[in-house]
A and B are shown apart, each in its own frame.
Chain A
């Protein structure tokens, strides 16, 4: 696949370009947060409690006088790291299990995918609550939740591709020259799974953002005083009547990022499809 052609196809569409811009913007916020943020995200200011948006506090302040804009910026770092890291881990483990177990087949495939079916049968949030209830709420706990919830989904998607590739002549030709398992999985199968995987990863990422925010909102994810967006929504909920802006800011941030990632995912899908049909 030519990278330049891919990039061109990717940016050819306005929606995709918009989505990508949003994601890059949030990435910038996360990376250069300390340089941009006007205040510390956790510093409380008794003189500036529940201030509406103004020139000194762009998005206003919350009930403890913390600057919301700074909290959003630091929160971006948290959510992108957790959702992004979790997605990468889930995609890695899902691919590894999906490719190898499907290729080997037999009772192992049956066993693994029945267990995955069982996991998929539970609502994601219920599973997350169960897990976090066991390991206790923490950042690594949230990562674990994302991996456990999304590995079966990624593995299923990978499996469908591998199943269609397995009976093809080139796989049989590899077996006929006694190739090792690793070569067949890594060199013959993985490059053909990769396009589907890219789309799936982008999609998982957007769901992961949602999941992290949801866990924060339920109070079982990232713990206070961290500037987590979900947590901020939770804290602002009780004083919606007094300071509605403290709810609007994190909610808008979540929505904007999810929309951006979704638009980008759609662009990835389209660019790959165009590349394949060419």
Chain B
């Protein structure tokens, strides 16, 4: 075997917090060879980003390497002097960060930044910069060189970062959640690009991500990190097929997978939460959350043992970690049908236009204010005790739709009917009964609760306002609500600062459910959560629906979650619904070309959207998707809106391409994957 490019030996990294030092990475050893991609997965707080920064010798001033060494090509990096370290950063070490806009200088043109990064003689550097931009498939390098960072889309910005990271011949590349801030389809293209460039330049690569699917796709080997320790390291395929650590197994079981449905297969979240640094258990760090743990685990810290030449695990009882994921016995879930099928809420041709700011000059010239159509005629129907999934990427109008339904913003035209009675567009004009029937859980759990109010107070208000209870009656109901969302009763006096993200979201769900709404709108309600927590919340939603008969309008960009939880789905693109129907039908051919791109984004041979520079400037008339459509659109797409085509069973697709044709092409695409 060759000598590894990167060797990390017993690395321990601590942050100074107040008076004390807390170790967030402990005794990590690993090696990465040329051209190899080592994936590092873990939930938030596992220390994976800190490990990446420590390897790059780029820790913030509060962080310190307490023990261990980092070697690059046999040279020790820890304790290098300033100039030697700068030379290393310039030539060998590269980072692709999570947020490209924060990493690029907003006051410098892209070209200047690239030339600065490449260095050397200006003319050659310029030529080289244009070359690397071409290399990352940027269509018009000369224009991008002249642009400022904010003028580029997120995907383009990340391509520029990749161009910066991969010019010349880097030895070590650290990818720190490089696609987390991007849309699914953009993410797919960026991952394709990274795979291609790494194959060509052969740097040793560390790919840090919380997304197990992405790691499975890109990494050759994978290390699982938990509470600052590596708990399992193995080649990617065996790690995912036969996990040998209970935590890895738990992560995998938390994921909604194709074929699983909320009403038959509850997910298997990992109980408890990740321990805070400084409050680590004495024995195995995972013991408090592990179902296999016994006295020995709580007492004695396991070491990383090699069970085969390449497979390491930190567990006393790895033999007992059974392979695969045990499917729960199919419960006699009766697909509950109380009031099933009754129409609960409909919208008719809902539109929302947002006026853009106009310059005074244009205003004086009498130019009409430019408008953005956030919603362009949305018709949808929600049935009682059913889950309607709304899928789309940022800018698709899905959040605007939810805000119009709840009344937080007013639609420009169209009607919303609840139980066949029109709803007032503004929330102030709606009756208390209407407010009670419609509630919403917002995306960001960190902002969902007022930091000044306790959990009890937060749950009390809806009961008093909408449930018409007095204070005493309301107080008696609260333990029941906490039980509904599986929180212990003593949480009633806690403040939001004492809750984890998942717990906050549970309280937000309990608050929305307090007065038994008929329809709960969930706007990306699980997107900000770690996978194990997400699984617990999904289980909770399924159970609450079963028990209370509530309907959900579930907004997400994550198709796996939709296929697990939704009964019906609508797919939105630029304020319009392009496909709708029962979930099994919508997620199988024939597919709208956009749905096809979303569905295959997770695969390296999937369909990719066409890159356009300004998808905003679309013609008012034709198909909203036509400029990015991967399935060669005809001229008619640009001029006339496409018709709805019926694929049977309520499955409808809005496209000119005949369904039979779509079905044939897509079958072959999906089989290949």
Contacts and interface: CB of A to CB of B under 8 A. Distances in A.
Contacts of A121: none
Contacts of A175: 408, 427
Given A168-B447, A178-B435, A173 B427 contact: no
A170 B448 contact: yes
A83 B439 CA distance: 48
Nearest to B458: A170
Interface stretch (B152-160, B269-277, B449-457, B583-591): B449-457
A179 B448 contact: no
B448 A173 contact: yes
Contacts of A187: 453
B408 A177 contact: no
Nearest to A193: B452
Given A169-B442, A169-B444, A169-B508, A176 B450 contact: no
- 8 closest A-B pairs by beta carbon, nearest first, are A191-B452, A169-B448, A169-B442, A170-B450, A169-B447, A168-B447, A177-B465, A178-B435
B450 A192 contact: yes
B7 to A, nearest CB: 38
A13 interface: no
Contact of A179 (B407, B443, B465): B465
A174 B453 CA distance: 13
Nearest to B496: A170
B466 interface: yes
A178 B430 contact: yes
Given A175-B427, A179-B465, A170 B435 contact: no
B56 to A, nearest CB: 28
Interface string A67-104: 00000000000000000000000000000000000000
B447 A177 contact: no
A174 to B, nearest CB: 8
Contacts of A177: 435, 439, 461-462, 465-466
Contacts of B466: 177-178
Contact of B406 (A168, A174, A176, A179): A176
A170 B449 contact: yes
Interface residues of B, number: 27
Nearest to B403: A172
Nearest to A171: B450
B432 interface: yes
Contacts of A191: 450, 452-453
Contacts of B449: 169-170
Contact of B439 (A168, A169, A176, A179): A176
Given A170-B450, A173-B440, A177-B461, 9 more contacts: A170-B448, A170-B449, A170-B458, A172-B408, A175-B427, A176-B407, A176-B440, A191-B453, A192-B451
Contacts of B440: 172-173, 176
A187 B452 CA distance: 9
A172 B427 CA distance: 11
A176 B448 contact: no
A175 B429 CA distance: 12
B435 A176 contact: yes
Contacts of B654: none
Interface in B410-445: 427, 430, 432, 435, 439-440, 442-444
B444 A178 contact: no
B447 A179 contact: no
18 contacts: A168-B447, A169-B444, A169-B448, A170-B447, A170-B448, A172-B442, A173-B442, A173-B508, A173-B511, A175-B408, A175-B427, A176-B435, A177-B462, A177-B465, A178-B435, A187-B453, A191-B453, A192-B450
Contact of B408 (A168, A170, A176, A188): A176
A176 B508 contact: no
Contacts of A179: 461, 465
Contacts of B444: 169
Nearest to B514: A177
Contacts of B461: 174, 177, 179
B112 to A, nearest CB: 34
Contacts of A176: 406-408, 427, 435, 439-440
Contacts of A192: 450-452
B117 to A, nearest CB: 35
Interface in A159-193: 168-170, 172-179, 187-188, 191-192
A187 B450 CA distance: 10
Q: Which of B432, B447, B453 has the most CB of A within 10 A?
A: B447
Contacts of B511: 173
A278 to B, nearest CB: 9
A178 B432 contact: yes
A188 B453 CA distance: 8
Contacts of A188: 450, 452-453
